[in-house]
Structure 1
Amino acid sequence: MLSKEDEKLLALLQRDGRASISDLARALSLSRATIQSRLQKLQDTGVIKGYTLELGESYLANLVSAHVSIKVKQKLTARTNTELRQMSQISALYAISGEYDLIAIVQAQSTEQLSHLLDDIGNLEGVERTTSSVILETKFKRHSF
């Protein structure tokens, strides 16, 4: 179970993964040594897996994003998941309940590139059918624990 200070530390890091130890310590009214110790503990216990790049809004605004629902032949699920993981334009893949088995979050630099990506996904061995929904506008996005 995380302490309230750990939750606050994680929230600060989600907003700015490059924040310095000094800035984090100041924001939380804790010593630098305490922040370093908490970060090490969170890393050692697997709460923090790593630090990643967050793309800027101006770049993201120019991408075409879509949710792609994917129906998979059950015997080829593992193989299909592996092939989908290798497609760099797929930022997330979720197993879901219902008519479809997976939802992929995809991003492309143009509608033409998106069309080719959707064809590539649909042509994978094991994919029975897909349905796509292009994201027109993001109303809000939350970071969660």
Structure 2
Amino acid sequence: MAKNQLDDRDQKILSILEADSRTAISELARNISLSPTAVRQRIARLERDGVIEGYTIRTGAVEPQSTIKAVVMLTLTGAFCSKIKAAFGHMPEIRKFWSTTGELDATLIVQVPTIVRLQEVTEKFSAHDLVRRVQTHVIIATHIDR
């Protein structure tokens, strides 16, 4: 399915299901102002077209062209990943957050709509007292996604 074939309601369905794939059809219908039947038909089409694979929502093939994913690596002043999580865990841009061993203390996957927003997010990390260093690498292509 081409990116331009997904309308705002399709994108909203994917967003809601990505956050909670068990969201009820009736709740989806209320959130996007459609009937439950119309929502079921849209989901069936998204499944048939391979946008929704099984019970896993895989939106990589249909992300808006302006979506930017980046790997952000943090070096902290100590073992403070739990404090960093408490400070930034509410940010929807953070898609994954791992504590790591070695020189880097934390690795995050960040997804933002624009490069300006990526800069704002990384500046928030940099400004935190416990963050000593921020390294940001924009993801330009996915070669394997299991």
TM-score above 0.5, yes or no: yes
**Is 1:94 the equivalent of 2:98?**
yes
SS of equivalent to 2:120: helix
CA contact (8 A) 1:77 1:126 kept: no
- Structure 2 distance, partners of 1:52, 1:79, is 31
Matches within 5 A, 1:1-145: 54-55=58-59, 57-59=61-63, 61-74=65-78, 76-142=80-146
CA distances 1:8-64 after superposition (whole Å, capped 9, x unpaired): xxxxxxxxx67xxxxxxxxxxxxxxxxxxxxxxxxxxxxxxxx77553622255311
Deviation at 1:68, TM superposition (A): 0.6
Letter paired with 1:66: A
- Structure 2 distance, partners of 1:141, 1:75, is 30
Deviation at 1:110, TM superposition (A): 0.8
Letter paired with 1:94: W
TM-score, normalization by structure 1: 0.57
SS of equivalent to 1:121: helix
Using a 3 Å threshold, how does the CA distance of structure 1 residues 77 and 59 change in structure 2: closer, same or farther?
Answer: closer
- Structure 2 distance, partners of 1:65, 1:79, is 24
Deviation at 1:78, TM superposition (A): 2.3
CA RMSD across the alignment: 2.3
Identity %: 22
- Structure 1 gaps of 5+ residues are 1-16, 19-50
Structure exhibiting the larger radius of gyration computed from Cα positions: 1
Using a 3 Å threshold, how does the CA distance of structure 1 residues 125 and 54 change in structure 2: closer, same or farther?
Answer: farther
Letter paired with 1:95: S
CA contact (8 A) 2:81 2:99 kept: no
- Structure 1 distance, partners of 2:122, 2:64, is 19
TM-score, normalization by structure 2: 0.56
CA distances 1:94-116 after superposition (whole Å, capped 9, x unpaired): 11111110001001101111111
- Structure 2 gaps of 5+ residues are 1-20, 23-54
- Structure 1 distance, partners of 2:143, 2:64, is 14
CA contact (8 A) 2:81 2:105 kept: no
Aligned to 2:16: none
- Detail structure 1 runs of 4+ shifted over 4 Å in the superposition: 51-54
CA contact (8 A) 2:67 2:113 kept: yes
Letter paired with 1:110: T
Deviation at 1:93, TM superposition (A): 0.4
Aligned residues: 94
